Structure 1
Amino acid sequence: EMPRTRSLHWWKVSPSSWCWFSPARVPGNPVLMESDLTEELDEEEQLVRRHHKEKKELQAEIQGMKNAVPKNDKKRRKQLTEDVAKLEKEMDQKHKEELEQLRLTCKENKIDSVAISKAQKRQEKKAALEKEGEERIAEAEIENLSGARHVESEKLAQILAAKELEIKQIPSDGHCMYRAIANQLKEQDCALTVAALRRQTAEYMQSHVEDFLPFLTNPNSGNMYTPEFGKYCDDIVNTATWGGQLELRALSHILQTPIEIIQADSPAIIVGEEYSKKPLILVYMRHAYGLGGHYNSVAWLVNTATENRS
C-alpha cells in the first residue's frame, strides 16, 4: 500500500514487508520425475527456513547484548559493534557454505540431460541473484552499525540519558505511533488499546474537519483532500495506515495531554502545549528502518523510575 500524501512527509512510518518466492517447477520434464524435483526444492526450502530462524534467533541474542551494555559506555559499545559484526559475518558464511553444499549435492545427483541442464541453469541464476541480494543486505546491516542508524541511535541515547530516560522498542507494523502512545498511557495507569486510539482519532478528525482538511492534499492534483477525507478517516480505523502529525494533534486533544516527540537532529516537538498534564513522550527515528521512519516509546531509567511515577 502506497503512503498517502500529507504536508509533513517525514512523520510517516512505513511498515516493513517481505516477499517469499517458491522456486519454479519444470513442467513436462521427461527425464526427471516431478516427485524428485519437489523433494529437492523442499530440501532447499527447509534449509532457507532454518537459516531464517537462526538469523531471527541471532538478532534476538544481539538485542539482548545491546540491552546489557549502557548506551553511554562508549568503549563497551564500540566492542559490541565489533562483536555483532563478527557474529553476523560468521553466520552468513555458515549459511552460504550450507546452501552451496546442498546445491552441490543436488547437482551431483541429477541426471545429465538437456532438459535438466536448462532447469538447473535457471535455478543457479536465481540462486546467484538471491545470494547477491543476501550479501548486499548483510553488508548494509554491518555498515549501518557505524552508519546513519547507529549515529542517530547514539545521539538519541545521549538526549534521553540527560532526561534519565531510555528507548522502549515498539514493533514496526504500521501501528507504531499508536502503540507508543498506548505504552505511554499504560505507564500513567490509563489502558487504551491501539484499536480504541485509532477509532477515537478518526472520530475526532471527522468531527473537526476544518482543523485538518487544509493540511491534506491530493497526491495527483495537489488540491485539498475534500472528497477523500471520509476514506482517509476510515483507513485510520480499518488499516495499518501510518500515524503522523495530524493524528498526534487529534490524540493530544482527545487525551487533553501534551505529546512530546524527541528527535536526534532537531529540537523536540510538543503537540498540545495548551494542556497542563504530564506529557506523553515519543521518540521519532528517521533511520530505524530502510523503508521509512519509526516511533518508539520511552521508559525511565531504573534508578529514577519510582521517583518519576510518583
Structure 2
Amino acid sequence: MTTGLAYKDLESWRRWSARRSAVRTTLSAVRHRGRQTLPAAVLTLPADEPRVLVVIDGGSASWRLALGCVVAHLDLRRTAVLSRLPEASALVPGGHASPWTPGDRLPGVDAVLSLGAFNDLAGQVRPWCRERDVRFVVAQHGLLTPWAPPSVDGDHYLAWSQADADFQTAGRPAVTSEVVGSQMLWEAARLPAAELLDDRPVMLGQLHGIELPRASEQRLYTDFCTRFDADYRPHPNEADAISRAQHAMMRRAGVRFETSGAPLPELGRPVVSIFSTGTLEAAQRGLPAWGHHPDPPAWVRGFWSRYGLSQFGSAPSAPAELPDVEPAITTARAVMS
C-alpha cells in the first residue's frame, strides 16, 4: 500500500505533471490561443507594517476555504495579501493595493501562508522566504493522492488529519506539520442534513484527473452507471476535446448524464466516486456516499482508508470526525505563533 507521496521533491513532481498533462495542455493552448496572459499580481498592504503575507493562487473554492476564511482571524492591521484575483484585495479592509513584482520586499514579514510553492505566486515568494528565514506555511486544500504536489524542505504543513500529515511528510524530515482540520468539512457539518429524495446514485466524474488512465475510468463509469441505474455527473473541468469525445461514447453506451449544476445536497441522491472530494462532502451532509473501483489499486484502497470512505456495496461512509476548534482559527493561530 502506498504510504506517501510518489514524488518527494517539487521539480520531479513538475516534470511528471508536465508529461502526464502534455496532451491536455496542448489542446487547451489551441482552444485559448491569444488569451494566455495572466492578470497582474497585486499586493494589498494593511494599515501597519505587515507581519503576515497570505499568497492566494487560483480562483476555485479551495482557496476561499483554506486561505480566505483564515484571513478574517489574523491581525488585519498586520496582514498583506498577494494575488492575481481582484476579489482577494477585499480581504484587507482599507488596504492599499499596488502592482507587485518578484523583486518587491516586505522586511517586516515573518510568516507566509499559501497553498504551496507548486503554485505560481507562492513559488516566486518561496526563495525570498528561504533567503530571509521567513516561515513558509502551507495549508492543505484538498484530498491527497500519491501524486499530490510535495511541500518544499523547510515548509510547515497544516494538515486535515494526522494521517494526511504523515502522508505529506513521509520520507521528508525537513518538512514539519501539524493538524488543523478541514474547513470544508467543518462548514459542511454545520449545514442542515440533506434529505434523500431519490435512491438512484450519482457517479462523480474525474476524467480530467491525471491519477488514473482515462480509458479505464471511462469503462468504470460506463459499467457502473448502466449496471446500477446511476447518472454520470461530469467534473466542471471535463470540457476539453478528449473528455467530450469520451462523454459521447458513454452516452452511446446508454449512460445518462446529470448536468443540472445543482449542489449535491439539493439533488438528494447517493453519491459515488473513485476518489472525489464531493463524496466526503456528501457524507458530511448525511447522504449515502461510497468509493467505487472494481479492482482498486493499492493507493485507492489507501485513500479510502485514510478518508474513511466505504466501498460501494457496504454500509455508507460515516461523516468525518471534526476538531473542537474551527480549522480557520487554528490555522490563523499556527501562522501567527
Structure possessing the higher radius of gyration over alpha carbons: 1
Same fold per TM (> 0.5)? no
Q: Which has the higher contact order (CA 8 A, sep 6+)?
A: 1
TM-score normalised per structure 2: 0.24
TM-score normalised per structure 1: 0.25
